[in-house]
Structure 1
């Protein structure tokens, strides 16, 4: 009974967390597509208000109308469109005008209520009128339905919703001022930093902190709320600590992550580094809190949301005379996180492999109750010309993901258009759409013709490698159907001359070259395939256990394969492959699925210890040949 109760509580907790994530992403989705307008307002404010960098009385007149009218109406339109398409967007904008006129403060919260409400009402009205409008009256009914409902919602917003939202704004304002006045704002990092690690950063920033900051900025010319989530200091301090005190691949990955995070503003890059050791959330929280304390102490603030949260965006949005205070807070949070992370990372003593970083990513996926990305099925079987990364605004993480995949495809000689767009703007000719798992449902509605791939992490995702390999296979099949290599039609997969027994032990790379040389000399592969085999071994060991290694090429090397073939070398004294001694080195060059039968035989051999033991020292070439070629 107790187990059942606990299970129910876990389900309820997971459902609540999922609903919170969805709500946060929905709020963020209303702001993110309009972030360019927010930046435009922020630049005009930073430059032309009386305390700006270039004070100008005439141009500063743009500031008020933009924040009072333009930005809330854009939010209302976007929220309505998300639910009720274009007509819902128009109704959401009209309804938002009602709360704007009835208040003397920027009505971002009102827009976030009236926009989606307008979209919902429009969708219900359209459903009610569906198939009931006489032919020839469609335009008349469509226009008047929007007009009538717009008038009703605008009046309701002015008389009812506006005053309620205004009262709520006053309550929130008072609560925030109290927290700030008593110096408790740094405590917000206890919520903000863990929420970021769960990829709620955009929802938190643009759905909650951004609107609060906009209201404060209109009154004081700057707001500290724009710095609470976007401060890159904690992430920078953590990554610097990894670079100084970690080892191997973890250490080597840190500089690239620092550039992407601190200069590019993609904070998601450092989240898996925290999950590698959950204790690191303490230095991150401490760094965030110390940064907030410094910001508050020095009166730091920005004039608008810096998006993405790079150091360049923070500097651009700093008001005149406020840049040093902003940089001081970033520096303090970086130092605190660095020094607190150092002993934790040194005590852990990270080994020189990539698996810990991947394990952290898998851990995050497990926390969400989802399968790992490597289990995602890539079902493509046709030529692909366009891949689209989609998110709420079509920038930030999706832009980074598109860039990463674009570079991987370029290295493999695959010419496919890879772009990043907002979900609402996915092109009709998109064949593959890659989105965060929480946005996939929306993406499928926007692009039902495409194949959809759901991921949780846009940065260095293993799905990208699976996708590249599949596209390489498709390209190979197309080339095979057009041109068949001359002189390789009759080559069997394994020739007896390519079985060498009793070889003297050598270094593993030399053994791999020997296996590749046999394949090249027999016409199975071009010379360049040997380099691809070396690269594969450098990337990931091909030792599979039980004294057997199967060196083969990376995906790009498949272009050098002329015919499926294998070579077998026996080293009675073994070859050190790092993870174990390989007595049998099987070089593989596979076209399509032709080599699967051999791999199946190999799997059977690995299961039979007696056969594997005999293969280490046998001098019977016929025995080896029969073993590997049997059906």
Structure 2
């Protein structure tokens, strides 16, 4: 199946497997520090460690009483439960984390019971040890969190007022209890059987001397970004089990050895041509020391025959590691030579060094031979990098080192578009500090443009930066917040805007969606979608569906809507002269409406000192910080219009709308405000309105009598 066909159909087995691998990686990677800590504890305190401490390493006293210490409980309970916490949180935040951990505890206990019962029937010399439930945690925690989320959606609209906490706490507790039982009796036997089967398979390969053959699978999988599914789904759990029994595991070295990629990059440094040769030395340093293996993938993609060099180097490295009985105490992440030697046991240093050198030499010789004897045109490293990102399904964090572009495309959607990456964009998020004001308005404007371009399946929403996770394809923020957003969403395209109402970046995002989600239509160059997007931003009536522009006589039709923006909270001729007094004026109206206390107005000033709430088109929407939500009694908005523009931190402002939001009650009206201010004709009507009813009608909060 071609990449274009995959993109248009929305499904590809390769992409599906990549997503599974990414999910596994996202559960394991945040907990690597805990794995490293366990490796250090093991290295020092077990009986064969540097400084044995029986109380910490665990021992059995003369009476046969076991003393667990810290080593065994950490790997058997703490590490799987940490992974369960991360996996559940990925699906359903803190609620999913709690349910996932309890359910995983059931799997761990069920596995222990099965092992105990089996050992009762076995001779003492054939008894098996504990099976650590890493795979069990990766399965059970996300499943339990997902089911909890679906159950909550069934009854969240039916909970009587005042009973929310009771229902939420007891539903999660009861469901956790049930999932723990399912884990104990249902999943534990399955995972135990799977781990025994996989373990027996690896032992068989080792005993037959065939373990190097796994490089035939691992090395090509790395180039196609399928290694996470293999590494974190199989090798890491098996390696941790082996390390807990033997103090080390060679399985941690199967994928992490930097030698194969390092040898290919060295070959390009000597025998490559053009930009590929010029960039290869720097890429080699990043790959070998930094541990970012994906940086050599484009060089293989320029000449696919080089996969033979990677396989040859990988097999050599595995052979030498097995020959010298080497191993690591814990996974090496990233696959840096520093991380590898940091996790190596003292008897493995020489063997690992020889394995890395051997893998480098073999891959270098094969790659050099292929580069010398084969027809070699000057490689297009930029095109190969784009192809790598296409297969990866997202921006590469190291692409800038190869192409000269800024890593991560921080800022412009057009820069991401220029990369040639055609992976689908499915989720776009606007993020701001509190996630209730400026981001909601910006999301409304862009959602309309995306819908007008014909992409009804693309999610466009808003969130607070503090609640972001690395699940978004595009993240839009005010430029002051981009660095904070990037820390949480490193794989997303980051788009910085000066203001949210009419930023030209919106059209770039729409164009990016067109090129990635419908590349054939984008290449036709008809411009119809772009024209529709531009018209939507200008207020022309081309919106459809959820993004359609509300007419002047549209209203929410809710009995609670007038309470959000009451006539008493509208001032047609404000007296402020700058942003500080404008915040005071808008905030005083919220206080007078009984929606907030005086502390919320101070929080509005605090937010303005951090990030400007100027939106564009003469509008500012001051609101409090995330920490000030406790000062809000109910959702409300205030509206102040000024006879002349006031200075809002260097921006001419005619309208100030104060916001205090509880949950999502205010968002419907806020979306209508965004639509009104994205239309110059509506802004002019707001300037000329003479009554509060006209203002409310234009903003969609009340039907206008003459509409």
Q: TM-score range by the shorter chain?
A: 0.5 to 0.7
Match of 1:93 in 2: 101
Match of 1:498 in 2: none
Match of 2:15 in 1: 18
Instruction: Flag structure 2 segments of 5+ consecutive residues without an equivalent.
Output: 58-68, 113-129, 412-426, 443-457, 461-468, 483-489, 499-503, 505-707
Of stretches 173-182 and 42-51 in structure 1, the one that deviates more from structure 2 is 42-51
Match of 2:246 in 1: 220
Match of 1:405 in 2: 406
1:17 CA drift (Å): 1.6
Question: CA–CA distance in 1 between the matches of 2:237 and 2:331?
Answer: 9
Question: CA–CA distance in 1 between the matches of 2:399 and 2:151?
Answer: 35
Question: What is the TM-score with the length of structure 2 in the denominator?
Answer: 0.52
- Flag the 1:148–1:447 CA change in 2: closer, same or farther, 3 A: farther
1:89 CA drift (Å): 1.1
Q: Deviations over 1:9-55 (max 9, x none)?
A: 99999722222112121222211221221121122223332333333
- Give aligned pairs, total: 414
Q: Deviations over 1:204-241 (max 9, x none)?
A: 32232111111111111111110011000101111111
> 1:142-541, aligned counterparts within 5 Å?
142-348=168-374, 356-364=380-388, 405=406, 428-429=432-433, 443=470, 450=477
Q: Deviations over 1:511-560 (max 9, x none)?
A: xxxxxxxxxxxxxxxxxxxxxxxxxxxxxxxxxxxxxxxxxxxxxxxxxx
- Flag the 1:447–1:268 CA change in 2: closer, same or farther, 3 A: closer
- Flag the 1:129–1:41 CA change in 2: closer, same or farther, 3 A: same
Quick check: 1:205–1:230 contact (8 Å CA) kept in 2? Answer: no
Question: CA–CA distance in 1 between the matches of 2:131 and 2:473?
Answer: 35
Quick check: 2:107–2:136 contact (8 Å CA) kept in 1? Answer: yes
Question: CA–CA distance in 2 between the matches of 1:361 and 1:447?
Answer: 20
1:160 CA drift (Å): 2.3
Report whether the alignment pairs 1:35 with 2:6: no
Would you identify which runs of 4 or more consecutive aligned residues in structure 1 move more than 4 Å? Answer: 7-14, 348-351, 365-368, 396-401, 406-410, 425-432, 439-453
Question: CA–CA distance in 2 between the matches of 1:258 and 1:10?
Answer: 32
Report whether the alignment pairs 1:105 with 2:135: no
Report whether the alignment pairs 1:138 with 2:139: no
- Flag the 1:79–1:467 CA change in 2: closer, same or farther, 3 A: closer
Quick check: 2:295–2:398 contact (8 Å CA) kept in 1? Answer: no
1:332 CA drift (Å): 0.9
Quick check: 1:273–1:357 contact (8 Å CA) kept in 2? Answer: yes
1:445 CA drift (Å): 6.0
Report whether the alignment pairs 1:77 with 2:61: no
- Give the SS at the match of 2:380: helix
- Give the SS at the match of 1:69: helix
Quick check: 2:399–2:405 contact (8 Å CA) kept in 1? Answer: no
Question: CA–CA distance in 2 between the matches of 1:264 and 1:317?
Answer: 15
Question: What is the TM-score with the length of structure 1 in the denominator?
Answer: 0.58
1:399 CA drift (Å): 12
Quick check: 1:79–1:112 contact (8 Å CA) kept in 2? Answer: yes
Question: CA–CA distance in 2 between the matches of 1:357 and 1:228?
Answer: 28
- Give the SS at the match of 1:321: helix
Question: CA–CA distance in 2 between the matches of 1:228 and 1:337?
Answer: 15
Question: CA–CA distance in 2 between the matches of 1:226 and 1:145?
Answer: 41
1:325 CA drift (Å): 1.3
> 1:107-122, aligned counterparts within 5 Å?
107-122=133-148
Q: Deviations over 1:129-178 (max 9, x none)?
A: 21111111111111111111111111221122212221222222212211
Report whether the alignment pairs 1:63 with 2:87: no
Question: CA–CA distance in 2 between the matches of 1:115 and 1:277?
Answer: 41
Question: CA–CA distance in 2 between the matches of 1:400 and 1:226?
Answer: 27
Instruction: Flag structure 1 segments of 5+ consecutive residues without an equivalent.
Output: 374-388, 390-395, 411-422, 433-438, 454-460, 472-476, 478-631
- Flag the 1:285–1:78 CA change in 2: closer, same or farther, 3 A: same
1:263 CA drift (Å): 0.5
Q: Deviations over 1:553-586 (max 9, x none)?
A: xxxxxxxxxxxxxxxxxxxxxxxxxxxxxxxxxx
- Flag the 1:282–1:222 CA change in 2: closer, same or farther, 3 A: same
1:366 CA drift (Å): 5.9
Quick check: 1:53–1:320 contact (8 Å CA) kept in 2? Answer: no
- Give the SS at the match of 2:54: coil
Q: Deviations over 1:272-317 (max 9, x none)?
A: 1111111110011010011111111111111100111100000010
- Flag the 1:186–1:131 CA change in 2: closer, same or farther, 3 A: same
- Flag the 1:428–1:467 CA change in 2: closer, same or farther, 3 A: closer
Match for residue 54 of structure 1 among 51, 54, 66: 51
Please provide the CA RMSD for this pair. 4.2
Quick check: 2:477–2:495 contact (8 Å CA) kept in 1? Answer: no
1:324 CA drift (Å): 1.0
Question: CA–CA distance in 1 between the matches of 2:327 and 2:430?
Answer: 36
Question: CA–CA distance in 1 between the matches of 2:231 and 2:400?
Answer: 19
- Flag the 1:327–1:88 CA change in 2: closer, same or farther, 3 A: same
Match of 2:126 in 1: none
